[in-house]
Amino acid sequence: MTQKAHRDYQDGFAGRIGWGKRPALLLVDVCNAYWNDASPLDTKSNPASAAAPASIAKLVSAARQGKTPLIWTRVEYTKPDMSDAGLFYSKVPLLKLFQVGCGNGLESWYPGLEPAAGEVVVPKRYPSAFFGTDLAAQLHSCNVDTVIICGVSTSGCVRATALDAMCHQFRPMVVGEACGDLSPAVHKANLSDINAKMADVVSEDEAIQKLQAGWD
């Protein structure tokens, strides 16, 4: 895309949603499968994705410090024939890695990034953490108005979750440094498009400040 075409594309887009007063940290698929040499979904070849777990760890620490709610989401399938993955499985056969009890260890939380006692865990079956789950109800019941989103992949589950967060009237803030994808180009392009249409892409420093501050 030329610079002029990019400017034309951005015209009328990329407004700011802005922060609310009651944020929660929403972690999307922070699983071993995305940062493991033995996994076909390993994203460490992309330097931005390889650095994402360290950024996510900073966000988790800040949220716990500020007593800001943390919600962990990850894909889980329980049917032996993967029928609970629906058409998503037809498109992405590698989803079998996330079958509960498959024994590969790749469906587990990334080492050092695990839910603490009392933190909410929401299993999901599709890209969006909102689709087919009670995530929106849980957030509404806690009076959350802003979701700070991190995890993988930028072009898939992060993007889908950011879109649905906006559609559910939560203010989605996507932390670019804390997201990952296999391709640097796809990661960068999707952050640009997410920021243009469905969420505010914010810096790690800004997100940490909001998480540490907690709720008024």
Whether 1 shows a pLDDT value over 60: the answer reads no
Location of structure tokens 């410090």: 65
Q: Which pLDDT value is given to residue 135?
A: 98
Read off the pLDDT of each residue in 162-167 and give the average, rounded to a whole number. Answer: 98
Confidence of residue 10 (pLDDT cuts 50, 70, 90): low
Whether 205 shows a pLDDT value over 80: the answer reads yes
Whether 147 shows a pLDDT value over 80: the answer reads yes
Whether 8 shows a pLDDT value over 70: the answer reads no
Rounded Cα gap, residues 200 and 183, in angstroms: 21
Confidence of residue 104 (pLDDT cuts 50, 70, 90): confident
Whether 143 shows a pLDDT value over 90: the answer reads yes
Q: Which pLDDT value is given to residue 5?
A: 60
pLDDT digits (tens, 9 = 90+) for 73-88: 999 999 999 999 999 9
In the chain the domains, ranked by start, together with CATH numbers, are: 20-75+110-213 (3.40.50.850)
Q: Which residues pair with 202 in a beta bridge?
A: 175
Token pair for residue 61?
């620490």
**Amino acid (one-letter) located at 136:** A
Supply the DSSP string of 25-45, one letter for each residue. EEEE--BGGGS-TT-TT--TT
Whether 109 shows a pLDDT value over 90: the answer reads yes
Confidence of residue 6 (pLDDT cuts 50, 70, 90): low
User: Which pTM does this prediction carry?
Assistant: 0.94
DSSP secondary-structure letter at 105? Answer: S
Please, what is the average pLDDT of the chain?
95
Catalytic residues: 157
Confidence of residue 133 (pLDDT cuts 50, 70, 90): very high
